[in-house]
Amino acid sequence: MTTRAADCVFCDIIAERAPATIVAQDDRVLVVMDIRPVTAGHMLVIPREHVRDLAEIDPDTAARMFHTAQRLTRSLSGCGLPHEGTNLFYADGEAAFQEVFHAHLHVIPRFPGDGFRISATGWTDQPSRDQLEANAELIRAALEGDN
């Protein structure tokens, strides 16, 4: 059973209550063209079940999302749209610039001169090995509690 959320545009698309240009679909995911594309061919891989973020996605569905993105990337290579590479982008949470709070994976065709840039300005100094180890230890401890 697919769960839906009120006032979720992706749930409306999945339920065919909102328009979308569908590229592909199966029992777990729907692929649509992004209505605000970064480049021609920019697509979204959306799980059919309403899940807000990455932590909520069923592992099999997450695997299907990435397998679908892999297939889409292969298809971009021969479809005639400009494509010399692909960015997969997943925004998880408002601080990560997630705008629609239904999990989704962007598949963005890339080519030289396409104008799309990803930049990170927050990094100023390389952390020490000790700081990296301390951060890793915090994460490892949280992983152990997540079994």
Around Cβ 5, how many Cβ atoms within 10 Å? 13
Q: Which of 100, 93, 74, 96 is nearest to 85 (CA)?
A: 74
**Alpha-helix residue ranges (DSSP H) falling in the chain:** 9-14, 59-78, 129-144
Provide the residue count of the chain: 147
Amino acid 125 reads: D
- What is the amino acid identity at position 98? Q
User: How far is residue 131's CA from residue 16's CA, in Å, rounded to a whole number?
Assistant: 49
The catalytically annotated residue of 50, 83, 102, 104 is 104
Strand segments (E) across 34-99: 43-47, 85-89
Residue 18: left (phi > 0), alpha (psi -120 to 50), or beta? Answer: beta
User: Catalytic annotation on 106?
Assistant: no
Catalytic residues: 104
